[in-house]
A and B are shown apart, each in its own frame.
Chain A
Amino acid sequence: MTRKTKEIFSLGILKDNPIYRQMLGICSALAVTNLMTNSFIMGLGLIFVASFSSLTVSIIRQFTPKHIRMMVQTLIISAYVIIVDIVLKAYMPDMSEALGPYVGLIITNCIIMGRCEAFAQSNPPLPSFLDGVASGVGYASVLLIIAFFRELLGFGTVFGYTVFGDWWVNWIFMIMPPGAFFMLGILIWVANYYVPKESEEKPSMGGAK
């Protein structure tokens, strides 16, 4: 069990990382990464939704008719996203404002759908839950890496605390959309060099694009 858990985490976070390896869920990865705080909250939200929807899909997998499973998965995911949205609105109204539509867009984030379809649909509840957590953590860590560079270069701050002094001239460019595209492109380049590729291709990968 522990060995399998370790394997799930190393796959989800490093070797099969949803963003730079599977190219899933990059819409939100680009949109919220101009500030580290935003990315952190977004990552937490995604870990929550991914893990619990994998758990739920796995629990009810025997009772779900095959041909409507996509619809069922979407509804489960939407229900958890609504919870995240309501919690954010209640306790962090500023954050909810800043993230805007991207909280709702967790529903169409292909990572969650992809994990439900590829893993939770055919595995028992506990590993599915862990798989959801692992994918979520993989997603959140990439988000934080991108956000770290964008915020540092764009505002001279990390998590809102000033790192560079007055001498630093902000690269406005990094906060704007092109900066996000370049950062992710460079990250993929670096990741392709340093993270070993999984040799066998999994045919069940990428159920939802």
Chain B
Amino acid sequence: MENIHPITILMASIFTSNMILANFLGMCSFIAVSKEIKTSLGIGQAVTFVLTGTSVINYLIYHYILIPYQLEYLRFIVFIITIAAFVQIVEMIVERYLPTLYYSLGIFLPLITVNCAILGVSLFMVIRSYSFLQSIAFGIGSGLGWMLAIVAMAGIRQKIKNAPVPKGLQGAGITLIITGLMALAFIGFSGIVNIQ
């Protein structure tokens, strides 16, 4: 994995190996939050920021603390603690210095801790043995890709609000079907870049 240019990884993680549409990560909040464009944009920005921050911190911790002391098997616990702590600190800083942003994000910020996309990116980073720059690019790209998917989904869901959806399919069911169609469309990008 050493020869892939970081920009290639950035583009690939936005389009071809999108966190939601190709790796199914962050589905819980994706279905729960994608009802309005404005809130999904907010949570998308928060996820992108947290993803970038935690992938950098987890990279440093994994390569400079866990590997030298041969504690790789502890990575699950360490990563999840880092993520929880990072979210907590970001929440405090945002509350102190950017109160307007804090109120617009509201409950979404603490919920990010249990978003599987965040932990997933850190674990993918270890499995694919990315370098430092590649990890940053992967973090940013995954966040942007996640945001792209959730905002697009919110736009579609606003349009189908009044559509005559069959009763059993309303809510989560139709959301999943639309996600499938979106994933199908995104497969069309797969010729551009591929990092699988």
Contacts and interface: CB of A to CB of B under 8 A. Distances in A.
Interface of A: 23-28, 30-31, 71, 74-75, 78-79, 81-82, 85-86, 100-101, 104-105, 107-110, 113, 176-182, 184-186, 188-190, 192-193, 208-209
Contacts of A78: 76-77, 80
Contact of B28 (A71, A110, A176, A182): A110
B84 interface: yes
Contact of B180 (A28, A113, A185): A185
Nearest to A188: B173
Contacts, number: 123
B174 to A, nearest CB: 7
Interface stretch (B2-10, B46-54, B109-117): B109-117
B25 A185 contact: no
20 contacts: A28-B24, A31-B24, A82-B76, A85-B73, A101-B120, A104-B79, A105-B116, A110-B114, A178-B181, A181-B176, A182-B176, A185-B169, A185-B180, A188-B168, A188-B169, A188-B176, A189-B168, A193-B168, A209-B28, A209-B114
Interface in B29-78: 29, 31-32, 73-77
Interface of B: 21-29, 31-32, 73-77, 79-80, 84, 111, 114-116, 118-120, 123-124, 127, 166-169, 172-177, 179-181, 183-184, 187
A82 B22 CA distance: 25
A105 B119 contact: yes
